[in-house]
């Protein structure tokens, strides 16, 4: 399964266009524009599995910087500042990585 099986390609493209400039990425805005914030819990779990590149059950900081590239291979890498801000916003238990439940909470809140 790919992200375009769950999310509209045009919504993904619009979300990526919105954050093309370095340090312009806002997770909340990206989730809204891409349509992720309207998805069901099971769809978000599937999106999480796709984003969890090493299938560890967590999205770690080094995976997070390539977040946009999981949606489109030509997309930019998140800056160090964006990556740290994204991680801090989602990592509720402070273990330095984002679990499936943390991801779902962030997208749906």
Is 71 marked as a binding-site residue? Answer: no
Q: Is 95 annotated as a binding residue?
A: yes
Cα dist from 74 to 18, 58, 62, 63, whole Å: 15, 23, 18, 16
- φ and ψ at 75, to 5 degrees? -70, 160
Q: Check the annotation: does 102 bind a ligand.
A: yes
Does 54 count as an annotated binding residue?
Answer: yes
**Does the annotation flag 52 for ligand binding?**
yes
Q: Are 8 and 35 in contact (CB under 8 A)?
A: yes
91 among annotated binding-site residues: yes
**Binding site per annotation, positions for Ca(2+):** 52, 54, 56, 58, 63, 91, 93, 95, 97, 102
**Binding site per annotation, positions:** 52, 54, 56, 58, 63, 91, 93, 95, 97, 102
């Amino acid at each position: 399964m790919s992200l375009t099986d769950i999310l509209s390609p045009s919504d993904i493209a619009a979300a990526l266009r919105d954050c093309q400039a370095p340090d312009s990425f806002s997770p909340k805005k990206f989730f809204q524009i891409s349509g992720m914030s309207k998805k069901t819990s099971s769809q978000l779990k599937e999106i999480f599995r796709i984003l969890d590149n090493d299938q560890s059950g967590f999205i770690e900081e080094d995976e997070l910087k390539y977040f946009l590239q999981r949606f489109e291979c030509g997309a930019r890498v998140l800056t160090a500042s964006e990556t740290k801000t994204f991680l801090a916003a989602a990592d509720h238990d402070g273990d330095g990585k984002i679990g499936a439940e943390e991801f779902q909470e962030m997208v749906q809140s």
